[in-house]
Amino acid sequence: MGRGWKIALGIIVVVAALLGINALTIDDETKPAEVTVPGGKILSLPGGDLQVVDRGPRDGSPIVLIHCFTCATDWWDRMMPRLDGAHRVVAIDLLGHGGSEKPSSGYTVPNQARVIAQALDKLGVRDAEVVGHSLGGGVAVALAQQSPQLVNRLVIVDTPPNHDASSLGLVAKLGFAPVIGEAFWRVKPDFAVRKGLEVAFAPGFDVPDAFVADVDRMTFTAYDDSASGFDDYTSEEPLDQRVKEAGAPLLVIMGAEEQIIDDPRAALAAYAATVPGARTALIQGAGHSPNVEKPAQTAALVLGFAKPIAKGVGSSTRGGAVSQDETERRQGRSSQGQPNSGAHPRNRASGVRGTAVQQ
């Protein structure tokens, strides 16, 4: 073997060793909880310390907000002022995210829901409208299954029933690759993080710097295990079936310009077909995160679902949101593809008629 080949082989061995050491070091990284947002506070809980933001009148009907993967409570900042006038609004950072503790394990969806339940119990919150965005939608469903006394209604924002027809994009996939993912996490530049976050919005949306900082606060274990835990949860049983079993009234909101979910209309139709009385809304001009991109329309839908629905609301198209059910009616068929007779099923849990909400 020539000298050049020996040098090259030596470099490869050193690089491989460094990658291995880096992977072991990053996989063991943990971080304590810290306050990262104005008004945030840390709750010390048996399952881990969580950062929460608690606003609005304490005697108001509660709304609980659970954010998406790699996100934090600040993804609700544009919506919260529209909700907390008459409602108590509690936004929670999941384990591994935002200002919450980042342990070495515990990132399965059922465990995240258990810790959320501990937080709500400590805050004295029950019978809440629970709103979950993407990963948060899965956690909200698990919470409804495990602790039905805490959940009055469910709102799922851009969470498909399963992940068979969705993708987080190339940058995220690179971060999940064994060894390479750990190395990329160590050196990830902000421009790469920003590029990876672009798929969470409609094309052309300017990703806020704060959202890049949310990713930087995470550990690799929180990043990798949260994603795999979410995939495992929906693979074991789709969310639409889980909601049906939980029996909670359901509203599903999705952006029409999704870049993660292949077909948001099909995802809405799947929920409508499985969950009796499920309401669906498609927001034009929004991608995977209408709570950020179209906060007024999204907040109006959440508020409309939190109170008795006025007769005729389901046919409204104000605010730029076009409901899936409205679209189906205009085309002369139901969400199951059958001729629409104009009759809507009654949600057995809420007694509210209709399969679409509009504000």
Residue 127: the pLDDT is 96
Residue 179: the pLDDT is 54
Residue with tokens 């906060």: 295
- CATH number at 258 reads 3.40.50.1820
Q: What is the separation, in whole angstroms, between the first and last Cα of the chain?
A: 74
Residue 178: the pLDDT is 59
| Domain assignment of residue 31, yes or no | no
| Domain assignment of residue 26, yes or no | no
| Domain assignment of residue 337, yes or no | no
| Domain assignment of residue 29, yes or no | no
| Domain assignment of residue 354, yes or no | no
pTM over 0.85: no
Q: Quickly list H helices, the chain.
A: 3-27, 80-83, 109-123, 135-146, 170-176, 180-187, 190-197, 209-217, 220-236, 239-246, 264-274, 290-293, 295-306, 324-330
Query: Domain containing 163: what range?
Result: 40-330
Q: Mean pLDDT in runs of 10 for the chain (359 residues)?
A: 53 40 61 97 98 96 98 98 97 98 97 98 97 98 98 98 73 59 74 93 97 96 95 96 97 98 97 98 98 98 74 37 42 35 34 36
| Domain assignment of residue 11, yes or no | no
Residue 27: the pLDDT is 63
Residue 340: the pLDDT is 35
Give the count of domains, the chain: 1
